[in-house]
Amino acid sequence: MAESMEERIEMSPGDERWRRLAGRVELPVTVSVVVGIAVWLAARYWFVPEPGTVERSLWMRIAVNGYCQAMIGLFAAGAIYGVLQVWGLFIEERKGVGAGFAGVVTGRLGDLHGHLTDLRPEDRDIILLARRRREQQPLQFVIWVLPMLGFIGTVLGITDAIGGLGSIVGGGGADDQSVGLVLGGLRFAFDTTLIGLTGTIPLMLLLYWLRARAAHADAVRILAGRSGIRDP
């Protein structure tokens, strides 16, 4: 009973050891957000729509769409975060602890498995599960937000299209301005939906691969610890 109480005291949330076990995602998230903003600003600088012209190419039309540019920046942030987590897993598998720049940007400054060796097996499983969930939550958030932004863009585009259609039906006639408003709204709706859905697919693949890799690495380390095998 006394041993159990000591173990609980050691694992109190305010302990530095607990903070290391819980994982640190602030720095990887910050790096990813900075990269995403940089991609968004670069797209706004390089792809500027010319007044009075309509891009015929699908990808050029998406590139000059400010709403799509913001979605592309969000996709870039999610992709960078996923890559940083993959890099962090490689650090855990090879060194166990990150050093220097790699440890900072991946959030692997502490030796995760070294702090788990003296815990009970069931406690190790709980800690690893909670940490992996925390590490993957930012990527899951981007995967959830991207299609939502696509659907919001669809609603905005269809709303504009209905506005132009109302002018035609209301007796204003099918002039170039009304037709252009309808077609422009539909283009906006479909383009934003396309970016939201296609951007989600590679991020989902990255998340599933990351989960599988993390589960394999954790299983190997736990079994090695139970067998008394130390990493080289």
Residue-level pLDDT at 195: 94
Confidence of residue 155 (pLDDT cuts 50, 70, 90): very high
User: Does residue 144 or residue 170 have the better pLDDT?
Assistant: 144
The predicted-structure confidence for 46-72, as pLDDT tens digits, reads as follows 987 776 566 567 788 888 888 999 999
How far apart (Å, rounded) are the C-alpha atoms in residues 88 and 109?
10
Lowest mean pLDDT among 4-13, 51-60, 93-102, 207-216: 4-13
At residue 95, does pLDDT exceed 80? no
CA angle 163, 153, 194 (to 5 degrees): 120
E strand intervals along 27-71: none
Residue 186 contacts residue 162 (beta carbons within 8 Å): no
At residue 79, does pLDDT exceed 80? yes
Mean pLDDT of the chain: 77
How far apart (Å, rounded) are the C-alpha atoms in residues 162 and 164?
5
Contacts of 196 (CB under 8 A, 6+ apart): 71, 146, 147, 148, 149, 150, 151, 153
If you search the block for the tokens 């076990």, which residue do you land on? 21
The predicted-structure confidence for 196-223, as pLDDT tens digits, reads as follows 999 999 999 999 999 888 887 777 766 6
Residue 112 contacts residue 20 (beta carbons within 8 Å): yes
